[in-house]
Amino acid sequence: MTDIWINMGPQHPMTHGLFNLRVRVDGEIIVDANPLLGYLHRGVEKLCERRDYTQIIPLMDRLCYVSSLTWSHAYCLAAEELMEIEIPERAKYLRVIALELQRIASHLMWLAAFGPDVGMFTAFLYAMREREYILDMLQMMSGARMNQNYPRIGGVRNDVPPEFTDKCLKVMDYFDGKRKQYERLFDDSAIFLMRTQGVGYLSKEDAMDLGVTGQTLRGSNVPIDMRTHDPYEVYDQLDWEVQVEKDGDCYSRYKVRMNEMWESTKIIRGALKKMPKGPVRVKPPKRPKGEAFRRTEDARGEALIYIVGQGETSPYRVKVRSPVFANLRAAPVILKGNTYADLLAIMGSIDVCIGETDK
């Protein structure tokens, strides 16, 4: 028996971003795997120490281009905790709407990448088509399709235009109407089910022990979502449910993400309905002192930002917890014992984004 190490990457259709997954195979079976990171390391945490608090917001947007708003929001939330300010009620609702739009856009981007991985190119075309409408809404809010730079410490940059509510509801109706089409495309497809069901099993105990979060954790039957576990903004006042699946395989992780998208439309409808009138921003203090952290549910899992301030205009230390970094830790455990042909489906179902992993 000879062992062979195969380099999947750094440039490979599987890797969304640059990273190298070294896989040891015995014939067709994967015996070991080792993710090599660092190709996209930009030193974000060091850069934060040279910039003032407001200048960090666009930098945080660049952590993950697929779901940039969730990152700048997580940073603003932690900075508000450090500065001990309370933001206006309307800003909280606007943030929730923006975050959920971003979550749908991010999940659609994931679907567009995951589909071709398991041999369904139609998924790419469908998901990209819908994503464009969602990005239109984000553009209407913030002026940009991607890297929006929309949250501010103390609120959001600007209020939405008056026609936003109607247009957004229209998009939500359109998107909800597509649900059946998606379910028929995926859940009725024998090929898709064969490639995902029972593949890449991760047990509940392993998932908790390895520090896995997000959809990978919820796909393994652990109902933990930071939006309810450690509520922020107004998520606890809106009507929605945490999505969990029992099986712990690729199909469960796919199903959690799909259900979450429809759940997000529910949150957006609720937030649009309940949103009060009023200001959207307060002025933050300039030189905070102390330390603070906040957790949010990023599109990929638990994002945690820890800030230490020393009474200067720039923070003393900023630390970013990337959910994908921890989820990649679980990749070797999930991969072991599966066939090499299933590797794409498994890594696709983890939803890797290297920008935030390498920082």
Which residue of 184, 229, 286, 289 would you call a contact of other proteins, by CB under 8 A? 229
Using the minimum distance from each CB to other proteins, give the nearer residue, 65 or 316: 316
- Using a 10 angstrom Cβ sphere, with 0-12 exposed, 13-18 middle and 19 or more buried, the burial of residue 345 is buried
Q: Which of 311, 271, 274, 273 is nearest to 291 (CA)?
A: 311
Q: Mask of contacts with other proteins, 72-111, x by CB under 8 A?
A: ---------x------------------------------
Residue 44 or 120: the one with the smaller Cβ distance to other proteins is 44
Binding part of the chain for other proteins, among 126-134, 183-191, 241-249, 315-323 by CB under 8 A, reads 315-323
Region class of 133: left (phi > 0), else alpha (psi between -120 and 50), else beta = alpha
CA-wise closest residue to 97 among 44, 54, 142? 142
Decide if residue 325 touches other proteins (CB under 8 A).
Answer: yes
The yes or no reply on residue 359 touching other proteins (CB under 8 A) is yes
Residue-wise burial string across 110-142, b where 16 or more C-beta atoms lie within 10 A, e elsewhere: bbbbbbebbebeebbebbeebbebbbebbebbb
- Establish if 266 lies at the interface with other proteins (CB under 8 A): no
- In the complex with other proteins, the residue whose CB is nearer, 37 or 141, is 37
Determine if 209 is a binding residue for other proteins (CB under 8 A). yes
The residue among 111 and 330 lying less far from other proteins, judged by its C-beta, is 330
Task: Give how many residues touch other proteins by CB under 8 A.
Answer: 36
Q: Which residue has the tokens 């026609």?
A: 163
30 beta partners: 25
Binding flag, residue 46, other proteins (CB under 8 A): yes
Q: Which two tokens stand for residue 58?
A: 């666009």
In angstroms, what is the minimal distance from the CB of 203 to other proteins? 12
Distances (CA, A) of 173 to 99, 213, 243: 18, 30, 21
User: Where along the sequence are the contacts to other proteins (CB under 8 A)?
Assistant: 37-38, 41, 43, 45-46, 81, 206, 208-213, 222, 224, 229-230, 292-293, 295, 302, 304, 306, 308, 316-317, 319, 321, 325-326, 328-330, 358-359
